[in-house]
Copies of this chain bind each other. A is one copy, B any other.
Amino acid sequence: MAGAGGGGGGGDELKLLGSLASPFALRVKLALSFKGLSYEYIAEDLQSKSNLLLSSNPVHKKVPVLIHNGKPICESQIIVQYIEEAFKSTGPSLLPADPYERAIARFWAAYVDDKLLASWLQLTRAKTPEERTEGLKQTLVAAENLEAAFKEISEGKPFFGGDSVGYLEVTLGGLVAWVHAAKKLDGTSLFDGARTPLLNAWVERLGALEAAKAVLPDVDRLVEFAKRWQPQATATAASNN
């Protein structure tokens, strides 16, 4: 239960419907953790979805769903913006105050979903060597574009958000656990010291934050999950946003 106000003047009840492997649910956990908001976490079994999930997100039937005082909010990026707007005065601002900087943050957040994540999933689902090569190529291009964006946006500071975490820490941060899991699974590096040194260091920096450590899933559990469910695992994770 969140004690901090801004949304409803105290007494806010926050419930998060999520699942261990969902990078989208992790975004919401990161946002809530960075904001210092407490909430009840409800782990969904995506093979057998609860009535609460089905009634809270009847259109997509997917996690994450944030339920704030009984009202459901769906879609990870929309939830994160909701958290920022409903709890403006609580914790750090996840979006910059300047409209242009906000637009830039939203642009790269959309890029993470539309390009980086899309091509990474294409890579992990590839059935032929050709598909794998193409998926890998697109993933590397997307990672390199994000590296350039990080350089420009952060201006030498530790985070996309500057000296503290921001919208892209949450959006891209949702992928961090899978970045580590992929390395263990098949040696794939989304970011590395040679091609994307800034983002490689950023992954470590983000993971070292107490607020991130509190919510990042155990990498070995993700690896186990992936081995058990692959290729269904990536498909399921991808279809939940």
Contact = CB atoms under 8 A, between A and B. Distances in A.
Interface of A: 7, 59, 68, 71, 73-75, 78-79, 81-82, 85-86, 99-100, 102-103, 106-107, 110-111, 145
Contacts of A79: 103
Contacts of A73: 100, 103, 107
Q: Main SS of chain A's interface residues?
A: helix
Given A100-B68, A100-B73, A78 B110 contact: yes
Given A81-B106, A106-B78, A106-B81, A59 B111 contact: yes
How many monomers of this chain does the complex have?
Answer: 2
Given A59-B111, A78-B103, A81-B102, 20 more contacts: A7-B99, A59-B145, A68-B100, A73-B100, A73-B103, A73-B107, A74-B107, A75-B106, A75-B107, A75-B110, A78-B110, A79-B103, A81-B103, A82-B99, A82-B100, A82-B102, A82-B103, A85-B99, A85-B102, A86-B100
